[in-house]
Structure 1
Amino acid sequence: MFENIRLSLQGILSHKIRSFLTMLGIIIGIAAIIAIVSTIEGTNEQIKNNLIGSGNNTVKISLSDGDNDVDFTWNSVPSNIKVITDDMKKRIEDLKEVESCTLYRTRSNLDSLFYLNKKIDSAIIYGIDEDYFSTLGYDIAEGIAFTKDQYKNYSKVAIIDSTLQRGLFEGESAIGKQIDINGEPFTIIGVATKRIGFEPVINSVNDYYTYNQTSSGLIFIPTDDWGMLFRYDEPQNCIAKAVDTDSMTNAGKKTADILNENVVSVKSAGENTTNSMEYKSESLLEQAKALQDLSSSTNSMLIWIASISLLVGGIGVMNIMLVSVTERTREIGLKKALGARKRRILAQFLTEAAVLTSIGGLIGVFSGIGLSKIIANIADVPVAISSMAIVVSVVFSMVVGIVFGLIPSIKAANLNPIDALRYE
């Protein structure tokens, strides 16, 4: 085997230009496939990050009426939906797909929100429990977090996010200042910021409207303070943090199933319609998968087109190996006259074809990686080099050499030694 490889390399080096031109189809095909697969992988990762976030693995389970989340700014509290209990939350946390979860209430359309005499527009207020910040990945950048007593003792304290601090206090410290929520004064004790700084990639106007946050900032208050401002019996929403990204769908569905035990099916008086409110989980992972499938199916056509060059390269290998057999007819005849068997001649030429295409495959891999980097820089498209694609490409190039080198090798092995020695 090693002797065959040495002879193959010797033959390739003795005809450098011819060998390179023979490998060119293999090089172009492998490079194109590596570049396309790397672009697909990078695009899929971008889709997943844009829809899901970067490493957060959280899924929202909210009370919905049909396809829309229930906003209690405009809706009365439904009589058939109970407040989520601590026991129910514990059941969610015990799910194998769930790392942690948090319960919260929210308002996004609040008119009576002021700092001094200045109205705070488009801020979102959250009534949170003690697991909210850890589940969502928030850190306290300034001031302090809520204490256990403040969650339960109606302390009228608030934490704001860094966006609201910049917009409302214009660089001044917010700690100790008071904001007025529905006529109740709340003292700001901390400023929260996301631990994972993630910004989605915006490539179009549609992306902007999909990912852009229109809120001027966030205000967090302890969950028990919610009843002073709004209503004590408002049902909560839930956010579950999955153990990993792939578990998000199951974590959301199982959490929704548990929460829906709190929903009693009732019929409207005098009507046959059933109350349609229920807890639903976000289908972000399914959306990401649908977009990834669309991207992959589109690009798979490009892979097939690139594979044509591999076929052309294989035909080129077959052609040059047939030429090589013709050129070395006397050598083959001499080896057979000295006792070389068909198997030995066949192995020699198959090895030469495999070595030729393997070298072309390796050059194609490095060319594909370089092409991927160039595409990423020029077209601003993310790429992720696939190690599996590299391994498959090199193995496939060897298979191409063996398959297309088989006919010339069989021809060489079947030469009559007497006719071969007489060949001019």
Structure 2
Amino acid sequence: MKHVFWESVKIALDALVSNKLRSILTMLGIIIGVGAVIAMVSIGMGVRDKVSNSIASLGSNLIIVTPGAASSSGVRQAAGTNITLTLKDAEALAREVNGIGAVAPSVSKQYQMVAGNMNWTTSVQGTTPEYLEVRNLSVQAGSFITNEDVETRNRVAVIGTTVASNLFTNINPIGQSIRINNAPFTIIGVLEGKGQSAGGQDQDDTVIIPLTTAQERMMGITYVQTISVQAANSEVVDEVQEGITSLLRARHDITADKTDDFTVRNLASVMATAQETTGTITMLLGSIAAISLLVGGIGIMNIMMVSVTERTREIGIRKALGARYSNILMQFLIEAIVIGVIGGAIGIVIGIGTSYAISSIAGWNTVVTATPILVAFGFSVGIGLFFGLYPARKAALLNPIDALRYE
């Protein structure tokens, strides 16, 4: 049986080699289909990874607390709802809610800053030392703000790489003096670059100063605009969110019949929604590309039908010499499968090459993984088998006498 199988493979390969151009054109549909599926899925998975990384860059296990009730579309919030959170609320959360890793209250506002003859306008964040951990930041040079800076309202600043490159072209920013809204600050650190967010915002275009300095010396306010909370791990995020809501309702004297004067958002749910959406996009791209695989399969069927017609006399001779139904069936099935296998293999190479080419030329993020490659290759072999079955069966059922008479 093994000898018969390999003999059939040899005959199939000889038949394909003897008609090179026709074989290549038959494989073309499979090659394009497999290559397109791999390239399209890699683009979709690249988009998913970029969105996930962008959300993750905001902070791991992050919960954002903002003032004001969650408003429905078109409904304006009541006056004063944006000043309901304070530094004491943040301190209470860190002290009383179980499962919290770190808490960082913050305020922000756009200001113009001047260094020598250079000026730049950006968002100035007033916050606490915990902000570094909560938002997954790291310092490239110098140091970050300290609790002492917050307590003494120091005029110190940590800047992002975008600000550093625009204000200090050829000199080290550490120790340099800048004026923020005409107030002098000393630069003590430069943050590691984080790139763009999912919304296209430059995360390195920022300046961080102590919270109390921003509140009392810059803005003249006593409230905070955001409280960023990092849960200890992903398992307790929902529990921490409930704890935050309960504690703030109690601190703000909100009774059961009244709505919250704050909003608590869980970035884990945002991440899940984003991954679901990008997963759907990936499936859609892959499905569209898979249509060309189907077209390739129909091409295999057409060529195999032509091959059966051309080789009717050969089939008759083989049957007259004792070839059985199964031998003829296997021969033509193997031809179809070989087309699928070779076309699939070439398609894999082209698909991976296209993915890397798109990444380097267009600058898109692409992710090539084994799963879509194996699935696309499996489909190419399966399509060869499926669409080769009818022509192979037609060849195997030919009457040897009629076949021998065929001209």
TM-score (norm 1): 0.70
Q: CA 1:84 to 1:18, structure 2 compared with 1: closer, same or farther past 3 Å?
A: same
SS at match of 1:328: helix
What does 1:50-65 correspond to in 2, within 5 Å? Answer: 51-52=54-55, 57=60, 59-65=62-68
Q: CA 1:369 to 1:335, structure 2 compared with 1: closer, same or farther past 3 Å?
A: farther
What does 1:3-402 correspond to in 2, within 5 Å? Answer: 3-49=7-53, 51-52=54-55, 57=60, 59-67=62-70, 75=83, 77=85, 83-88=91-96, 91-93=99-101, 102-109=102-109, 123-129=123-129, 131-145=130-144, 150=148, 154=152, 156=154, 158-162=156-160, 163-165=162-164, 175=174, 188=186, 190-194=188-192, 196-199=193-196, 210-213=199-202, 217-221=206-210, 237-240=227-230, 253-264=238-249, 273-282=258-267, 284-286=270-272, 288-289=274-275, 291-292=277-278, 295-296=281-282, 299=285, 302-303=288-289, 305-323=291-309, 325-336=311-322, 340-373=323-356, 381-402=364-385
User: Which residue type is aligned with residue 309 of structure 2?
Assistant: V
* Distance (Å, rounded) in 2 between the aligned partners of 1:114 and 1:379: 36
SS at match of 1:394: helix
* Distance (Å, rounded) in 1 between the aligned partners of 2:78 and 2:229: 16
Say how many residue pairs are matched.
391
SS at match of 1:383: coil
Contact persistence 2:38–2:373 (CA under 8 A): yes
* Distance (Å, rounded) in 1 between the aligned partners of 2:293 and 2:310: 26
Q: CA 1:320 to 1:370, structure 2 compared with 1: closer, same or farther past 3 Å?
A: farther
* Distance (Å, rounded) in 1 between the aligned partners of 2:178 and 2:356: 51
User: Which residue type is aligned with residue 342 of structure 2?
Assistant: I
* Distance (Å, rounded) in 2 between the aligned partners of 1:415 and 1:120: 83
User: Which residue type is aligned with residue 387 of structure 2?
Assistant: F
* Distance (Å, rounded) in 1 between the aligned partners of 2:291 and 2:139: 53
Contact persistence 1:144–1:189 (CA under 8 A): no
User: Which residue type is aligned with residue 292 of structure 1?
Assistant: T
Q: Is 155-164 or 79-88 further displaced after alignment?
A: 79-88
Residue matched to 2:396: 413
SS at match of 2:347: helix
After superposition, give the CA deviation of every residue in 1:217-240 in whole Å (9 maximum; x if it has no partner): 31232x788897678886971243
Q: CA 1:273 to 1:115, structure 2 compared with 1: closer, same or farther past 3 Å?
A: farther
Q: Is 401-410 or 302-311 further displaced after alignment?
A: 302-311
Residue matched to 1:98: none
* Distance (Å, rounded) in 1 between the aligned partners of 2:187 and 2:87: 35
User: Which residue type is aligned with residue 92 of structure 2?
Assistant: I
* Distance (Å, rounded) in 1 between the aligned partners of 2:70 and 2:312: 73
Residue matched to 2:74: none
* TM-superposed deviation, 1:263: 1.7
Tell me the C-alpha RMSD between the 2 structures. Answer: 4.8
User: Which residue type is aligned with residue 138 of structure 2?
Assistant: D
* Distance (Å, rounded) in 2 between the aligned partners of 1:346 and 1:9: 15
Unaligned runs of at least 5 residues, structure 2: 72-76
* TM-superposed deviation, 1:38: 2.9
TM-score (norm 2): 0.73
